[in-house]
A and B are shown apart, each in its own frame.
Chain A
Amino acid sequence: MSEIEFLSWIRGPGFQIATIVLVAGVVIRIVEILLLGRKTNLAEAKGSEMSSGLRTVVTRMIPDAGTFRRSTFTIVAGYIFHIGLFVTIFFYAPHILLLKNIIGFGWPSLPTQVVDALAMVSIIALLAVLVHRFSNKVLRFLTNFEDLLVWFVTIAPLVTGYVAFHRIGLPPSTLLGIHILSVELLMVVFPFTKLMHTFTLFMARWYGGAISGYRGVAS
């Protein structure tokens, strides 16, 4: 396979395969959770499950003051790279164009300089997160291979995208090919790992909030 053939495979069949794995994998993971079901609570309720669950989905974005003091780094660095990822994925003009081709509609983009700066900030935050993972004893204890794999497939598209945008080193088409390949890696790894929290955290927060709210506690 020549380089040109490889690049066109990445942009064609490769991307289609990655999309299928991502979508099918995510659907399977979510369906297999929901199919397990949950027993009806027979105790007399003190609050509403539905509204408490929905409330926690939103309120759990903001830690209480004591928790913020105790876990400051995790919260701040976590917020930075999540916002950075969200913006670079969904508000970079070429990404919006690509998504428009797939789903049929687009939305306004952010200025390239803003996206570029946020990508750099996210890369720095993710590097800091990795250092923290090894320097903090709880994180070092919890960390397994999956955590490192997920870290790698998350930072890789940011780095390859940054390099491709600034055309550093290799021909632009090669750089773009490497960037797309790194995204495909992320998409394929996604359903098999904790990256699933992107979707399941809404379920988890709802269940957690509902369990508490049923007993009259706003969680």
Chain B
Amino acid sequence: MSASLEKGINALKEQVDSSVASFFSSCVHCGMCADACLFYTETGDPERTPINKTEPLRRIWKSEYTLFGRVGKMLGLTKKVDDKLLADWETLVYDSCTLCGRCSMVCPVGNDIALMIRKTREGMAAAGHAPEGLIGATTRAVTIGSPMGVKWPALEAQIGHVEKDTGMKVPVDVVGAEYMLLLSSMEIMNFPEFIDAVTRIFKHAGISWTISSEAFEATNSGIQIGVSDIAAELVQRIVDAAEKLKVKTVISPECGHAYMAIRWEGPNLVGKPFSFKVRHILEVLDELRKDGRLKTTGMESQKLTYHDPCQISRRGGVIDEPRHLIDMIAGNFVEMPDHGKMNWCCGAGGGVSSNERADEIRLKVFQRKKDQLDAIKPDAIISACSNCRIHLEDGLEEYGMDIPLLSLTEMLAEHLAED
């Protein structure tokens, strides 16, 4: 056995716990997860059935953690995990899964299949079977601090523009601030309007907040590629900065997997509870709304809909908050069929957008989103994840659809009531 394969197998072994064992014990091969997955419904390829993507992990569970499987292993009857299997599964596990978790909501025996695929990635990555694009992004995240190679001077320059445009101060490295805002590289480079919007809303609401020059990057390639050590290192940078600045709450920006990484996986990755809270920007804004500190004026008359980013809604629990906020400013809001926790993924989450090899398939499976949109024909789409936003724009262009994408935070900023 090669050293890397051994590392992969050991990584898979570490992933097996009582939840995984009960999931594999319960699967009856009913195939319903296929009907819940856009990578199956839009390609018709049965290999892309979600539960099939977990095969490497299943083999390890069976041969190492069941009595009957261990007996079978001694007799040479169980199927092994080898390099060929992992190589064959690479495109299924990384290119054909966005970890959106729709399969997990449909499985009649209750299996969290997306979690099982996420765990399978740990073994794939350790054995060296991860896509080039994700390896590159992860390497840049570790060495430079951002998957897109964005360094502090780049953000500092954007902050300069925002301060000039708004005439407001963007607080940096303020010790004792209540909130510390994280940003995704995508926001820094492609949507600096987000920083602009947060600055104006927080000024309006009288919030004490800051950005850390040492840890501003919210994204975490480690959890996308499936390397817990790296994911933990990236989380630790944020923890260190938050503790240094003594903030009460860290805000995850409009980015799906960043929220999953810092809010739900973060404390488990670093092995201890955080001394601060983590909230998604929409949760913070909804709190401000409830407290009467966020006041808006005017209603949008165009027909609007909301695309639930998987890691924020179905996997993250922020489902009602955006709708409360949309109600403040939208006069004609329409839900897509299968919205909220049953929304269909845009097709580019879970590292798929960092993986050039998956470019073709992510645009193919966008057909699912197109069908959802065709059912209600909105004038514009609101979302809360820059990765969804970029891919939705990409997909809409590919399918010749002309529907603008809006950020909820930015929309709220445009509707702020004058003091």
Q: CB within 8 Å of B: which residues of A? A: 28-29, 32-39, 41-44, 46-47, 56-57, 60, 63-64, 66-67, 70-71, 74-75, 78, 136-144, 147, 191-192, 194, 196-197, 200-201, 203-209, 211-212, 215-219
Min distance, Cβ B142 to any Cβ of chain A, angstroms: 23
- List chain A residues, Cβ under 8 A from B32: 67, 70-71, 74-75
Q: Tell me which residues across on chain B come within 8 A of A141, comparing CB atoms.
A: 46-47, 49, 52
Pair A208/B49 contact, Cβ less than 8 Å: no
From residue A23, how far is it (CB to closest CB) to chain B in Å?
15
Pick the residue among B31, B263, B266, B272 that contacts A142 (CB under 8 A): B31
A–B Cβ pairs within 8 angstroms, 24 of them: A32-B65, A32-B66, A33-B21, A42-B268, A42-B273, A64-B105, A71-B35, A71-B106, A75-B108, A142-B51, A191-B68, A197-B26, A201-B109, A201-B110, A203-B18, A206-B110, A208-B19, A208-B110, A209-B110, A212-B105, A215-B264, A215-B315, A217-B315, A218-B341
Say if the beta carbon of B267 comes within 8 Å of chain A.
Answer: yes
The count of chain B contact residues (Cβ–Cβ below 8 Å) is: 64
Contact B267 A142 (CB under 8 A): no
In the complex the two chains form, is A205's CB within 8 Å of B109's CB?
A: yes
What residues of chain B lie closer than 8 Å to A57, measured between beta carbons? 110
B28 in the interface (beta carbon within 8 A): yes
Whether the Cβ atoms of A194 and B46 lie closer than 8 Å is no
| Binary contact readout B63-76 vs A (1 if CB under 8 angstroms, 0 otherwise) | 00111100000000
A197 adjacent to B46 (CB under 8 Å): no
> Which chain B residue lies CB-closest to A40?
B268
Contact A204–B22 (Cβ < 8 Å): yes
Q: In the complex the two chains form, what is the Cα distance from A216 to B319 in whole Å?
A: 9
The answer to whether B25 and A219 touch across the interface, beta carbons within 8 angstroms, is no
A219 to B278, alpha carbons, bound, how many Å?
A: 22
Which residues in A have their C-beta under 8 angstroms from that of B268? 39, 41-43
Do A142 and B52 form a contact, CB below 8 Å, given A42-B267, A203-B22?
A: yes
Q: For residue A42, which residues in chain B have a CB less than 8 angstroms away from its CB?
A: 267-268, 271-273
Contact at B278–A36, with CB atoms within 8 Å? no
Please name all residues of chain B whose beta carbon is closer than 8 Å to the beta carbon of A205 when the two chains form the complex: 109-110
Kindly list chain B residues whose C-beta atoms are within 8 Å of the C-beta of A32.
21, 65-67
Contacts of B51 in A (CB 8 A): 142
In Å, the complex CA distance between A209 and B341 comes to 13
Nearest B residue to A216, CB-CB? B317
From A195, which residue of chain B is reached at the shortest CB distance?
B28
Minimum CB–CB distance for A141 against chain B, Å: 4
B16 at the binding interface (Cβ < 8 Å):
yes
Contact of A33 among B25, B27, B313 (CB under 8 A): B25
A64 to B314 CA separation, bound complex (whole angstroms): 15
Q: Would A67 and B36 count as touching, CB distance under 8 A?
A: yes
Partner of A197, one of B27, B34, B65: B27
Beyond A29-B25, A194-B27, A201-B109, whether A217 also contacts B34 by CB under 8 A is no
Q: Considering only CB atoms, which chain A residue lies closest to B276 in the complex?
A: A44
Quick one: given A140-B46, A200-B26, are A207 and B273 in contact (CB under 8 Å)?
no
Contact A194 B112 (CB under 8 A): no
Given contacts A138-B49, A205-B110, A219-B105, A36 and B18 within 8 Å (CB-CB): yes
* Shortest beta-carbon distance from A58 to chain B in Å: 11
CA distance A204 to B23 in the complex (A): 5
**Which one, A71, A196, A200, A217, contacts B317 given CB within 8 A?**
A217
> Is the beta-carbon distance between A142 and B273 smaller than 8 angstroms?
no
Do residues B67 and A203 form an inter-chain contact, with CB atoms below 8 A? no
Q: Which residues of chain B come closer than 8 Å to A147, judged between CB atoms?
A: 29
The residue from A28, A41, A142, A217 contacting B319, defined by CB atoms under 8 A apart: A217
Contact of B115 among A56, A142, A192, A211 (CB under 8 A): A211
- What is the bound-complex CA distance between A208 and B104, given in angstroms? 8
In the complex, which residue of chain A has the Cβ closest to the Cβ of B65? A36
Q: Which residues of A contact B342 (CB under 8 A)?
A: 64, 66
Q: A70-B36, A196-B25, A204-B22 are in contact. Are A78 and B30 (CB under 8 A)?
A: yes
- Assess whether B152 is interfacial by the CB under 8 Å rule: no
Q: Kindly state whether residue B40 has any CB partner on chain A within 8 Å.
A: yes
